[in-house]
Amino acid sequence: MTFQYSIESIVTGIYLIFLLVSIVLNNNIAKNEIASDADRMFLKNLYVKAEFLKSKQTDKQIIEQIEKLQEDSCYSQTKSSPNVKEMENQILTSLDELTKGIENLNKEKLISEVTKCSNLLKQRNLILRKI
């Protein structure tokens, strides 16, 4: 009788350990998914803002620069790092300013700003590759 209770206690203990381990693993998976979604948001925002800029343009050279930026964003690493957060913020801020003042900017200024964003994105990707 005592032996039977010991076996049941051991089986119950093992079951509880497996249950706790699965809860901890599920929480870690959920945290990683949330972090991954946040990292992907930068690239999604970049692409959408560039698409908006492209829709407001008729100049072929500017459209080509914007498409190049979009293509670079498609092939960029989705992960992020605190080391590149400032660059990501600069890129998005620059695109925001372009979309707000798009009617008032001349062709050279638009090309310059899009090229600046493209260069910052390339720097971001280089830093992420080294990490």
What digits encode the pLDDT tens for the residues 94-114?
A: 999 888 877 777 888 888 999
Which residue in 26, 107, 101, 23 sits closest to 63, CA to CA? 107
pLDDT for residue 12 is more than 80: yes
Residue 118 has a pLDDT of 94
Helix (H, G, I), strand (E, B) or coil at 1: coil
More confident of the two residues 129 and 28 = 129
Long-range CB contacts (within 8 A, 24+) of 120-124: 120/87, 120/90, 120/91, 120/94, 121/46, 121/69, 121/72, 121/73, 121/76, 121/87, 121/91, 122/72, 123/87, 124/76, 124/84, 124/87, 124/88, 124/91
What digits encode the pLDDT tens for the residues 47-100?
A: 999 999 999 888 899 899 999 999 999 989 888 888 899 999 999 999 998 888
User: In the numeric block, which tokens belong to residue 33?
Assistant: 């998914």
pTM of the model: 0.70
The region that residue 27 occupies, defined by phi over 0 for left and psi between -120 and 50 for alpha, beta otherwise, is: alpha
User: In the numeric block, which tokens belong to residue 98?
Assistant: 């372009």
